[in-house]
A and B are shown apart, each in its own frame.
Chain A
Amino acid sequence: MPETTARAKEVTAEPDLEEIEVRELIRVIPAHHARANDPEAGDLPGAMNLDAVSAWYGAFRAVRDVSMAIPSRQVTAMIGPSGCGKSTLIRTLNRMHEVIPGSRVGGRVELDGQDIYGSTVDPVRVRRVVGMVFQRPNPFPTMSIFDNVAAGVKLAGPRPDRPVAEIVEHSLRRAALWDEVKDKLASRAVALSGGQQQRLCIARALAVEPEVLLMDEPCSALDPIATAKIEDLVRELRDSVTIVIVTHNLQQAARISDQTAFFFVDEARSGHLVEIGPTSAIFVAPREQLTQDYVSGRFG
């Protein structure tokens, strides 16, 4: 608990210094926000829709009644102070929340119109379509770089149309890691730097060709240079996969997302959605005073 408060303070202090920078950013690269209004986008696969989603750990309700749409082939950023339930919420989108003992999800999460919590739906299937990248890079320590990327692919059994090696190379290229590791595919993944490990985790997730990629604060353990690389990557991947990214870093949300959702905690410490909209709108002209306060750092 005390840790959370400390972090919340840290985060709320952040925009103070960066407020102007954020606004400038929005003006400098407004082009990619156009995607939010693109009528074509709605027809591509990988759209999600949340209807009154709540998530519990035992008796504690970490997320309360979140309803929002995640358009396909766009980057949706989730922002808000620590403990506002955004990391919990993102884990309900591929049924990873239920891995934790005692946890529970309420409401409805749709993927292309189908309830992923439907009684006939296997979570394994959902996680195949909705991939995930975690806060800290977590390559499999006992496996080589190649095997890390191939791990998910091999699960589904051999594919006659594409050899595994080809999928691995393609995925590593998509994750902008190929050139750095192509000569040491057989060496252990844990020997890579933190940033490389995280891109390896992205490659690993991409290798199973998900329609949606969930990223839970993927840069929180990385230095600025590695962070920049991941951000570039997110912008490139946007064309082929729906991305939902949780971030503490408002600048990052402004730089890479098409739409932004702002979450906050209520008196019961449950996280809820305050406002969602095109990223430029959230940062420049939010409807809610709370959002305004948060993105401008006038907080707490």
Chain B
Amino acid sequence: MSIPIRTGSRAPTSSARSAGDRIFRVLSLGVAGMILLIVAGIFAQLALGSAEAFALFGLGFLTGQTWDVSMLVFGALPFIAGTVATSVLAMLLAVPLGVATAVFLSEIAPRRLAIPMTLLVELIAAIPSVVIGLWGVMILGAFLRDGVEVPVVGAFGELPFLGSAASGSDLLAASLLLALMITPTIVAITREVLSTIPQSHREAFLGLGATRWETIRAVVLPQARTGIIGASLLALGRAMGETMAVTMTIGNADRLPSGLFDPAQTIASKLATSWGEASDGVERSSLIALGLVLLFLALALVLATRLLARGSLRRSGIGR
């Protein structure tokens, strides 16, 4: 008796399932297709838009040092150099600072101190970059100009790797600001990774008569390495693509910088400052070509992060 009832009640359900499921599936696939289309569209549009520039300048576009609107000569090197310089400088500061901060928050600080500090650092990561840029140009830039650069240049003249412009709107200001912006990202991820390391591993080393720092150094940080590299890649991606904070502090000079106190330009800041006045044609196409270069840099990081995640998964699989 119960068996026919069960099959009886299942039949209409499965037909409802097929109808509803089909709608749900079509909707989901539509959305999935849309997102895939957007990603493909971004690549396609940038490739199409930059075709004119690449047709004119070839790969020489990447190594050209001149960006001259009146002569219609466009080369990307100053902006690539600016992007690399600011990102690398920011990373050099932010990775050690961020890791040290995360170590302090999760390994050293008492909870009473760690919780509010962590909250503050993580909230700061949410501040819009244009707001940070405003602080950068008004407060940080002014401080660097009057407190650091003018005195240094006044005392020593033009120094190698520093330059002499000393305006407070330069590589140094942009890099420092970038470092400040990406540090919370590194802190947040590193802290999360540290918190997953079993306490027993720390205790094992402490039990051998290690100091806390020796434990952090020999046990904690090695286990967090993949996570820290992942955090750094993510932060590097943010630094390279960051537009507003850099645009507002880097001084916007379309040439290769010769020192930290020299104004410069990154790909992103060049796009932000020149897009509005650009004329359609070669100039617009060259700007889009800059965007394509930035896109490929970002893509390389996405790929690197994926490989890293896959590698660490495989390794932990063997570990088990």
Asked if residues B208 and A141 are in contact (CB atoms below 8 Å), the reply is: no
A155 to B319, CA, bound (A): 26
What residues on A are CB-neighbors of B222 within 8 Å? 142
A136, CB-defined interface residue at 8 Å: yes
A99 to B203, CA, bound (A): 8
Asked if residues A188 and B319 are in contact (CB atoms below 8 Å), the reply is: yes
Interface residues on chain B, number (Cβ under 8 Å): 21
The A-B contact count (CB < 8 A) is: 68
Main secondary structure of the interface of B (DSSP, over half): helix
B211, CB-defined interface residue at 8 Å: yes
A152 to B214, CA, bound (A): 10
A159, CB-defined interface residue at 8 Å: no
Asked if residues A140 and B209 are in contact (CB atoms below 8 Å), the reply is: no
What residues on B are CB-neighbors of A132 within 8 Å? 203, 207
Contact with A131, one of B110, B208, B214 (Cβ below 8 angstroms): B208
Q: Which residue of B lies closest to A142 (CB)?
A: B222
What residues on B are CB-neighbors of A134 within 8 Å? 200, 203-204, 207
Q: Which residue of A lies closest to B109 (CB)?
A: A101
- Interface positions, chain B 170-221, Cβ under 8 Å from A, are 198, 200-211, 214, 218-219
> Given A141-B223, A142-B223, A155-B214, are A96 and B205 also a contact pair (CB < 8 Å)?
no
> Given A101-B111, A138-B198, A142-B222, are A152 and B208 also a contact pair (CB < 8 Å)?
yes
Asked if residues B209 and A136 are in contact (CB atoms below 8 Å), the reply is: no
Asked if residues B207 and A96 are in contact (CB atoms below 8 Å), the reply is: yes
Asked if residues B207 and A205 are in contact (CB atoms below 8 Å), the reply is: yes
A190, CB-defined interface residue at 8 Å: yes
A246, CB-defined interface residue at 8 Å: no
Asked if residues A138 and B204 are in contact (CB atoms below 8 Å), the reply is: yes
Q: In the assembled complex, how far is the CB of residue B316 from the closest CB belonging to chain A, in whole angstroms?
A: 9
What residues on A are CB-neighbors of B206 within 8 Å? 96, 99, 127
Contact flags B250-267 to A (C-beta < 8 A → 1, else 0) = 000000000000000000
Q: Which residue of A lies closest to B202 (CB)?
A: A99
A280, CB-defined interface residue at 8 Å: no
Q: Which residue of B lies closest to A148 (CB)?
A: B204
A125 to B208, CA, bound (A): 10
Asked if residues B204 and A155 are in contact (CB atoms below 8 Å), the reply is: no
> Given A155-B210, A188-B319, A208-B209, are A96 and B203 also a contact pair (CB < 8 Å)?
yes
What residues on A are CB-neighbors of B319 within 8 Å? 141, 188, 190
Instruction: Knowing that A140-B218, A141-B223, A141-B319 touch, tell me 6 more A-B residue pairs with CB under 8 angstroms.
Output: A99-B202, A128-B209, A134-B200, A140-B201, A151-B205, A201-B204
